[in-house]
Structure 1
């Protein structure tokens, strides 16, 4: 039953998540945290963080991690692996199907004014979905007091440091390593 719910949820995310992985985050958060309550907002934020630093698209990475976590909670490691495969396949299936269909016709229609207008009209929507995902991570919709304040003062300090570092063109790998070291130093229960 849980595998079917994972498949349907990620199939919906795959169909309606236009604009790439960051635009899909609000849809994923709604399905995983709010609707099905498979994990807390803090756990979801951790999965988003890990999905960002691992190679590959964030939507596929998060689908793999969420599928594994939900499956493992239901039936152990092997069920977790199966859950990750189901969620990853489901989120990729709509894009794969649409790309096969669209590529057949896009070259003929790419200069069509309706197609161009549709693509231009989708840009503000994508920006809005990315902003919604950021706001959902900063201001979570939760009734659990432990989840409501998972972003603390140190999180803002780390964010400001990385933001300033990125403006000054510091190597992103160095910023990731320094952030990881700071996170361990601040949050590890010594």
Structure 2
């Protein structure tokens, strides 16, 4: 399953998450809540989120062998495709059709990433009615985004400060 997802996915880890979630839920390997926890842990772990998620799912389903199989399944397609495409892309990257195709993929990738974020928020009950939690989450998000864009603050600093604010608000 992860081998197929690795071959047909575009747009990076966050764009792959909806496909991984769908397969995991259809096969009954994890519940929605368990998968949300996997994504949260994978996002905090170093490395690509889709590969980390696949490894966590593989471990949960098949132990060490499952983790290795899932990791290899996610990494090998990318490695093979990058080697194949890079060898020929250099020759055609100025072609207007190639540039148009990549330009056309942008909104789809953005949509997949947005869908993953919305699904994650819905699964963790972060979307719903307006209450203090939803308002404070939005404020932390908006202030963080503003700090990143306007003041060019380093993302690590924004993450640390957001975590500290979260501890005071929700702790």
| TM-score for both structures, normalised by structure 2 | 0.81
Match of 1:88 in 2: 71
Larger mean CA deviation between 44-53 and 162-171 belongs to: 162-171
Residues 67-86 of structure 1: pairs in structure 2 closer than 5 A:
67-71=58-62, 80-86=63-69
Q: Is residue 151 from structure 1 mapped to residue 125 from structure 2 by the alignment? A: yes
Match of 1:57 in 2: 48
Q: 1:138 to 1:98 in 2, by over 3 A?
A: same
Aligned length: 158
Q: Residue by residue, what CA displacement relative to the aligned partner does 1:97-132 show, whole Å, maximum 9, x if unpaired?
A: 111111111111100112111111111110111122
Q: C-alpha displacement at 1:85, in angstroms?
A: 0.7
Runs (5+) with no aligned partner, structure 2: 148-156
Q: C-alpha displacement at 1:176, in angstroms?
A: 3.2
Equivalents in 1 of 2:136, 2:67: separation in Å?
31
Match of 1:103 in 2: 86
Q: 1:48 to 1:30 in 2, by over 3 A?
A: same
Match of 2:28 in 1: 37
Match of 1:173 in 2: 160
Match of 1:127 in 2: 110
> Over aligned residue pairs, what C-alpha RMSD do you find?
2.3
Equivalents in 2 of 1:160, 1:108: separation in Å?
46
Runs (5+) with no aligned partner, structure 1: 1-8, 72-79, 141-149, 186-190
Q: 1:175 to 1:31 in 2, by over 3 A?
A: same
Q: 1:171 to 1:137 in 2, by over 3 A?
A: closer
